[in-house]
Structures are given as structure tokens and as C-alpha cells.
């Protein structure tokens, strides 16, 4: 689509509904970002109480999912949107699932962080924090790409996901090759590898969001590109 749409809908109520949907999505995305940070902070600070808060706060994200779904369905039923409006509503219905899954994965991280809190810190945990910083940045960039209609930023998120995958693969490979001495070492390695996997999956969901941003803005489906 050449150019950008500057005109508003003639129907102001429709315009208001789309604006509300957009604001709700951005708020939910912000909450998902915060949950990732909070879950990783539990790990760094060995903060059991904070882990419980992450688990409790997931309810808000679940509620976001239900309410955004309702809003999107109402827009479809009332307005029967087409073109960029239709793509935006489809975008909302798709990314809401990714954001909800990100919330669930943050809860999983918080639970594993609680397990790790009972064990001595290990150097591998710093690598988890580095991975978490990268993953959160990916989600932030994907949401910023949505907020600012920025296709290039969305494309960078998709491109950079390879780095996240590699970092996770290397971390797990190193854990496997490190000899464990007893049950505590094994439990630590298991928790760290789980958190690494959860973070990698959050990266995948951020990539999904970025792909849908491109679809919503350009009408171009960039999912599942064929390998050369």
C-alpha cells in the first residue's frame, strides 16, 4: 500500500472502537514485557515473594486476552471491517494469543526461579539474564513496531530471532557438557535449561507479533518463508 492513511473514518464511533482496541493491545503488551522483567528479577534477586506476584499478576493478562477478544469480535459483528481495518482486527486476535502465552511463560520462569532460589547461584544464570534482556528487547521492538507502524523495526525483530535461538542452543549445550555432581547440580541444570527454553519461546512469540505487524501494515504474509 503506497502512502499512509491519514483520513479518519467517517463513522467516529468505529474510529473510537479501533483506537480502543489498539490501546488495549499496547497496554497488554506492556504488561507482558513487565512480567518478563519481573520473572527474571526473581532469579537475580532470589526473591520468592516477587515470584508469587508474577504468578498472581498473570490473571490480569488472561483478563486482557478475554476482553480484547470481545472487543475484536464486537468490531467484526458491528462494522464488518475490510482492508487495513480487517487486517488490524485479525492482527489483534492473533497477537493477543501470543501475548497471553508470553504471560504464561513468564509465570513458568518465575516458578523455576523459585526453585533456583533454594540453590546456590551459578555462572550460567548470568547468561540467562543476558538472554532475557535480548528477548525482552525483541518484544519491546515488536510492540514499538506496532505502535509506530514501523515495518523495518518488525523486520529486524524477525531477523534477530536467530541470535536468540543460537544463544539458547549454546546455553543448553554447555549445560549438557558440564558434569553434574549430585541431585542439586542436576536440579539447577534442569531449571536453567527450562528457563532458557521459555525465553527462547518468548522470542518466537515476539517474532510472531513482528510478522503480524508486517501483515497488518503491508498485507504481506512473511510467516514460514520457504528455505532456498
Q: Which residues bind other proteins (CB under 8 A)?
A: 1-5, 7-11, 14, 80-87, 219
The C-alpha cell that represents 71 in the structure block? 472487543
Kind and range of the H or E element at 221?
none
The C-alpha cell that represents 118 in the structure block? 533454594
Q: How far is the CB of 84 from other proteins (least distance, A)?
A: 6
The C-alpha cell that represents 213 in the structure block? 505487524
Q: How far is the CB of 81 from other proteins (least distance, A)?
A: 7
Closest to other proteins by CB, 18 vs 131, is 18
The C-alpha cell that represents 33 in the structure block? 514485557
The sign of the CA dihedral 162, 167, 172, 176 is positive
The C-alpha cell that represents 212 in the structure block? 503480524
Q: How far is the CB of 78 from other proteins (least distance, A)?
A: 12
Establish how many alpha carbons lie within 13 A of residue 5's alpha carbon, considering only the half-sphere containing its beta carbon: 12
Is residue 150 within 8 A of residue 75, CB to CB? The reply is: no
Enter the DSSP assignment of 224. S
Closest to other proteins by CB, 159 vs 220, is 220
Q: How far is the CB of 131 from other proteins (least distance, A)?
A: 37
Closest to other proteins by CB, 11 vs 37, is 11
Q: How far is the CB of 3 from other proteins (least distance, A)?
A: 4
Closest to other proteins by CB, 81 vs 203, is 81
Residue 100 Cα to chain centre, angstroms: 8
Q: What CA–CA distance (Å, rounded) separates 98 from 212?
A: 11
Q: How far is the CB of 10 from other proteins (least distance, A)?
A: 5
Q: What CA–CA distance (Å, rounded) separates 117 from 169?
A: 24
Q: What CA–CA distance (Å, rounded) separates 126 from 27?
A: 29
Closest to other proteins by CB, 80 vs 227, is 80
Q: How far is the CB of 94 from other proteins (least distance, A)?
A: 15
Closest to other proteins by CB, 88 vs 146, is 88
Report helix angle 183-218 to 83-117, nearest 10: 170
Amino acid at each position: 500500500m503506497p502512502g499512509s492513511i491519514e483520513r479518519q473514518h467517517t463513522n467516529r464511533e468505529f474510529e473510537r472502537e479501533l483506537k480502543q482496541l489498539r490501546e488495549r493491545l499496547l497496554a497488554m503488551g506492556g504488561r507482558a514485557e513487565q512480567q518478563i522483567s519481573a520473572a527474571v528479577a526473581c532469579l537475580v534477586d532470589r526473591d520468592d515473594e516477587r515470584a508469587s506476584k508474577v504468578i498472581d499478576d498473570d490473571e490480569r493478562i488472561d483478563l486482557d486476552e478475554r476482553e480484547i477478544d470481545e472487543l475484536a469480535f464486537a468490531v467484526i459483528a458491528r462494522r464488518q471491517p475490510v482492508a487495513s481495518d480487517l487486517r488490524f482486527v485479525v492482527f489483534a486476535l492473533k497477537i493477543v494469543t501470543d501475548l497471553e502465552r508470553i504471560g504464561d511463560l513468564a509465570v513458568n520462569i518465575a516458578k523455576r526461579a523459585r526453585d533456583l532460589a533454594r540453590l546456590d547461584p551459578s555462572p550460567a544464570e548470568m547468561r540467562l539474564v543476558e538472554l532475557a534482556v535480548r528477548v525482552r528487547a525483541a518484544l519491546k521492538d515488536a510492540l514499538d513496531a506496532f505502535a509506530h507502524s514501523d515495518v523495518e523495526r518488525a523486520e529486524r525483530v524477525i531477523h534477530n530471532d536467530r541470535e536468540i535461538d543460537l544463544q539458547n542452543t549454546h546455553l543448553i549445550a554447555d549445560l549438557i557438557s558440564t558434569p553434574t555432581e549430585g541431585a542439586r547440580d542436576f536440579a539447577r541444570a534442569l531449571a536453567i535449561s527450562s528457563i532458557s527454553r521459555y525465553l527462547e519461546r518468548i522470542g518466537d512469540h515476539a517474532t510472531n507479533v513482528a510478522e503480524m505487524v508486517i501483515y497488518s501494515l503491508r498485507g504481506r504474509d512473511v510467516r514460514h518463508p520457504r528455505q532456498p
